Chains A and B, each alone.
Chain A
Amino acid sequence: MSALSGAASVVGIGATEFSKDSGRSELQLAAEAVRAALDDAGLRPSDVDGLVTFSMDANAEIAVARELGVPRLRFFGQIGYGGGAACATVGHAAMAVATGVADVVVCYRAFNERSGHRFGRVAAGATAAPTSGGIDNGWQYPVGLSTPAATVAMFAQRYLHEFGATSEDFGRVAVAMRRHAATNPRAWFHGRPITLAEHQASRWIVEPLHLLDCCQESDGAVAVVVTSTARARDLPHPPAVITAAAQGSGADQFTMTSYYRDDLTGLPELGLVARQLWAQAGIGPADVQVGMLYDHFTPFVLVQLEELGFCGRGEARHFLADGGIELDGALPVNPHGGQLGEAYIHGMNGLAEGVRQIRGSAVNQVADVRNVVVTAGTGVPTSGLVLAVG
C-alpha cells in the first residue's frame, strides 16, 4: 500500500449525451460535463481548485474555469499521449489531493470527434510538427502507415501469428461489447447487438482488422470529480476510492508504433501499470470484479487481459471463448458497452462506468463489486486505476 492509495476518491461523474453531431462547441460540451459532475458530487464551481485534461483536448483549463465561474485554480495540467491520458488525469488529481496541493480537482475530456476532427482520418501535418513526435511520425506516415487502425493492425497481425489466434477471437470482444451496449440506453448502439458472423462479414479497414474491430467515433464529454476520501464521506454518493493510480511507458516507447522491441505481442507499458496497480492497491487480479478495459480496437483487449494477469500470455482467446468478459463471466468487461458499444470518449466514459459499478448504480450492474480496474489508451504511454468501495 502506498501513500496515494485510498487518499482520494471519485465523488462525482457527469457527461453530455453521446452522439454523432453534438451541435455545439467542444468548450460547451466540456463545461456541461464538468457542471454535471459537480452537481452529481454535490459541489459548486467555487469549490473547484484544480482542473486536469488531455493534452489533445481543445479546451484549456482556463477556458473551462471561465465558463464555470471557477474563481481560482491552484492545480492544473494536461496529460499527453492521446487516450493513454484517461486514467492519468485522475491519477494526477489524486496526487494533488493526497498532498494537499488541491482540494477538489475535476478531470474532463470533451470533443466533437465525429462531427469535427476525426482521429480515424490521416492526420494532416502529423509529420510536420517540429518535435520529437513529428520526427517519429516520419518513419510511419510517409510509407503509408497513417491511421490508428493501421498501427494497431501491425501488432494484431503478429499476435495472430505468434499465438494461433484468429479474427474471430478479436470478434468475440466486439460481440460482447455490443451485447452490453444493447441494454444501455445511453449507448449509441443501444438495442443493436451484433453476431460473430456479422463481425466476420464487416468490411476490411486494415487487415487483419474488420470494421467491427474498430470503435465508433463520437461527439461528447465526460468529467469526474476527485477530492479527499475524508471529504467524500460528507458528499451524496458513496465514494469510488482510488486505491491505485499509475502511469507507464516502456523501453523504446513510441506512440502507437513501438515496433522495434524484441516482442510485439505484449504491451509492456501496460504491464508496468498493472504491476504498480496491484502493488499500490494490495490486491491481485482475483480480487477484481469488473474490468473497464480501453477498447478502441479489439486486439488490444486481449493483450490487456494478459498484461493485467487475468489470463496467461497468449491465452486471452480461451478466456474470451469461455465467456470470460461477459456480464456473468470471470471478469465482466465494460458492462456499459465500452467504446465499441457506448461511445468513444477517449476512455473517460469507461472511467465513469467504473465509478457507477462501485456505487452499484450501473444499468448493467455487476453483483458485489468491491474493486474495479480501469485502463487507458493502449499502444501509447498509458495509465490505470483501481477503484474500490469505501
Chain B
Amino acid sequence: MSAGVAPVADAVQDPAERIREAARRLVEAGDCAPRPARDPVNEPMINNWTEALGDANPAYPGIAPPAMVQVWTMGGLHGQRADDDPLGAMTRVLDEAGYTSVVATDCAQTYARALRPGERLAVRARLTDVAGPKRTALGEGWFVTTVSTWTVDGEPVAEMMFRILKFRPPPPPPPPRQVPRPQVNRDTAYFWEGTAVGELRIQKCGECGALRHPPGPMCPRCGATRPGYVVASGRGEVYSFVVHHHPPLPGREVPFVVALVELEEGVRVLGELRGADPGAVRIGAPVEVDFDRIDDELVLPAWRPR
C-alpha cells in the first residue's frame, strides 16, 4: 500500500466498493515522490535508439527524440516499482480482488520541450481515475488511468496519460470430456456420420426394407448385403432405464440416467437421458433424440424428455 494512504478498512465487504475506496484514497494522495533517472540524457543512448528505429533525423543526437522520454527513467533490468507508485498500489488491490490480468488500452504523451544530452530527469505519477467494473471482450475489469510527469530541476518537460484494463481472466475452458469411443467401421460409419450432422439413422435393408439397430452387414431377414438407412423421427418412449451411481465414470457426473428407448419406427437405441430428474424417470415416458457432442469427431445419441 502506498505510503501515506491508509489501507481500506476490512469492514468494507463489497469487492467493488473496496476497489472504489482504494482508488479514491490513491487519487486523493496525488503524486508520488519523484523518482530520479539513473543516467542523464546522453548521446550513446540516443544513437542506439534512433539506429534501432531507423530514424535518420539530423537533429539527433543533438536533442533527444521526444518519444524517448520514458527511456530516461526506466528502472533497468532489475528495477522495482517504488512503494508509493500509485499504479503498483492499485494493481495490488485489483489482483487481490481477482482482476489479475492486464492489458494496456491508451497512452498519450505531451512534450513541453526537447531534451538535451546532460539533462537529468525525474518522474512522478498520480492515479487519476479507476472505472468499473465493466464487461469487456476480455472479461470483467477496471480501467485504471495514471498521469506521469517528467521534470528537469522541477520544470515539467513531458506528461503521459496511461490507461490499462485490469480484468478477471475468464475461467479456463472445461477439459475435453473423455468417454470410451465407439469403433467406427464399414458397418457402423453411417450411424456416427449421422449423429455428427444431427440425424439419428436406422439401418434399413436395401432389399426387404427391414429396420435394424444395432446394425450389421447382412440382413438377418433376407440375407441381402446392401444396407441403407432412414433418418428416424427421433421420437420414442423409454423401454427401460438405469440410474448410474457407482463407480464414477469418465466424462459423466453421477447420478445419470441411461435409457433404452423404443423409437416410433420400432427399433431400440441406447443413450443418456438428459434434462430429466433421475428419480422421476418412468418406463413409457415420451422422449426425443438429443445429441451429445463430445468433441469435433464424436457425437453421441442421447435423449431428452418431450
Contact = CB atoms under 8 A, between A and B. Distances in A.
Contacts of A129: 183
B247 A142 contact: no
Contacts of A139: 182, 214, 270
A161 B283 contact: yes
Interface stretch (B113-121, B145-153, B296-304): B296-304
A259 B268 contact: yes
A198 interface: no
Given A142-B180, A155-B240, A260-B267, A135 B246 contact: no
A150 B244 contact: yes
Given A128-B183, A135-B183, A157-B241, A143 B247 contact: no
B86 interface: no
Of A130, A142, A157, A207, most buried by chain B (CB within 10 Å of CB) is: A142
Contacts of B181: 127-128, 138, 142
B242 interface: yes
Contacts of B188: 135, 138
Interface residues of A, number: 40
A204 B182 contact: no
A144 B283 contact: no
B180 A127 contact: yes
B270 A207 contact: no
Contact of A157 (B213, B240, B250): B240
B141 interface: no
Interface stretch (A118-126, A311-319, A348-356): A118-126
Report, as a range, how many residues of chain B touch the other chain.
35 or more
A204 B268 CA distance: 26
Nearest to A124: B180
Contacts of A142: 179-182, 298, 300
Interface string B2-34: 000000000000000000000000000000000
Interface in B240-259: 240-247, 249-250, 252, 255-256, 258
A164 to B, nearest CB: 12
B245 A158 contact: no
A73 B23 CA distance: 89
Contacts of B272: 143-144
B260 interface: yes
A192 to B, nearest CB: 21
B245 A205 contact: yes
Per DSSP, are chain A's interface residues mostly helix, strand or loop, or mixed?
loop
Nearest to B242: A153
B187 interface: yes
Interface string A226-270: 000000000000000000000000001000010110001000000
A127 B182 CA distance: 6
Given A140-B270, A144-B252, A205-B246, A134 B241 contact: no
Nearest to A205: B246
B57 interface: no
Contacts of B179: 141-142, 144
Nearest to A122: B249
B260 A154 contact: yes
Contacts of B184: 138
B227 interface: no
Nearest to A125: B180
A252 B215 CA distance: 11
27 contacts: A122-B180, A122-B247, A127-B182, A134-B183, A137-B180, A137-B182, A138-B181, A139-B182, A142-B300, A143-B301, A144-B179, A144-B256, A145-B244, A145-B258, A146-B249, A154-B241, A157-B241, A157-B283, A158-B239, A158-B240, A206-B243, A206-B245, A207-B243, A259-B240, A260-B213, A260-B267, A260-B268
Interface of B: 179-185, 187-188, 213-214, 220, 239-247, 249-250, 252, 255-256, 258, 260, 267-268, 270-272, 278, 283, 292, 298, 300-302
A-B pairs, top 4 by smallest CB distance, nearest first, are A138-B182, A207-B243, A141-B180, A158-B240
